[in-house]
Amino acid sequence: MTGMHKRPFTALAAVYDAIMADVEYDHWADFVLTYARDGGLEVRTALDLACGTGGFTRELWQAGFRVHGVDGSPDMLEVARERLPAGVTLSLGDLRTFELGETFDLVTCVFDSLNNLLTSTDLGAALGRARAHLRPGGLLACDLNTRLGVRELWEDSCIEGLARTPEGQEVHYHWSHHHEPEEDVGVVQAFCRVEDGQGGLQEFVEEHRERGYDPADLDPLLRDAGFTRWEILEYPDYAPPEPQTPRVWVFAWA
């Protein structure tokens, strides 16, 4: 069993897009860009943090922007390079420390990627780097699972299914979730069995850990990161979050 265990976002990269085929990246992009337009922001350049295999990055590129994606996983970036247009720039980088030497109109970080930062110090550092890469008047848009969202990630605490890659591989996945109250983190055990249809079989498990952050946790971090103003809202109606909201969106202005 030990040989099956892989580091987060390594073996998963090859089958990630197949499993996540139903993710509404296009709707998320419309949600973000509508907010930006309504706020008077003219977007020409965008930085997509924790871009992964490039699902959301592609939406930004298709909107007509010059786009740069950053991710901490070489495996995810390898897939992104194969699937994104050549005009999209991709860089390997740690969200807490990256430096690109340029600023952007819009910085995004979606699909609860920031929840992978397990301390407020690390999240604050990432928000600070995002702020440093925004031009004056630019906008950060990101989503995070709340503490409740991390405790109660899925109904029945598991998801499973069958997906097929563009290359014809069948991906059987069973992902289980539990909450560790001592550390206040959610843990996902992501098991995948990949069959190539010709007798080839690969099985692996990745463990992913997330910490939830509530609006009260985020306010001081955004202030310390140097943002001038921000709103914390719900998708898709831009409503203020309720105590039972599992995921929030942050829109923060430089």
May I ask the CATH architecture of the domain 150-210?
Answer: Single Sheet (2.20)
Global pTM exceeds 0.85: yes
Peptide bond into 243 cis (omega under 30): no
Question: Does 68 have pLDDT greater than 90?
Answer: yes
Query: For the chain, what percent of residues have pLDDT higher than 70?
Result: 99
What is the fold of 6-147+213-253? Rossmann fold (3.40.50)
Question: Does 1 have pLDDT greater than 70?
Answer: no
Mean pLDDT of 26-34: 98
The domain spans of the chain are 6-147+213-253, 150-210
The two beta strands, 170-180 and 158-164, are antiparallel
Phi-psi region of 40 (alpha: psi -120 to 50; beta: other; left: phi over 0): left
Question: Does 197 have pLDDT greater than 80?
Answer: no
Residues 150 and 179 sit within 8 Å (Cβ to Cβ): yes
Question: Does 51 have pLDDT greater than 60?
Answer: yes
- The residue written with tokens 């995921």 in the block is 247
By CB atoms closer than 10 A (0-12, 13-18, 19+), residue 85 is: exposed
Separation between Cα atoms, residue 6 and residue 158, nearest integer Å: 20
Band the pLDDT of 156: cuts 50, 70, 90. Answer: confident
Residues 114 and 225 sit within 8 Å (Cβ to Cβ): no
Q: What is the 3-state secondary structure (H, E, C) of the chain?
A: CHHHEECCCCCCHHHHHHHCCCCCHHHHHHHHHHHHHHCCCCCCEEEEECCCCCHHHHHHHHCCCEEEEEECCHHHHHHHHHHCCCCCEEEECCCCCCCCCCCEEEEEECCCHHHHCCCHHHHHHHHHHHHHCEEEEEEEEEEEECHHHHHCCCHHHEEEEEEECCCCCEEEEEEEEEEECCCCEEEEEEEEEEECCCCCEEEEEEEEEECCCCHHHHHHHHHHHCCCEEEEECCCCCCCCCCCCCEEEEEEEC
pLDDT in tens, 76-98: 999 999 999 999 999 999 999 99
Question: Does 32 have pLDDT greater than 90?
Answer: yes
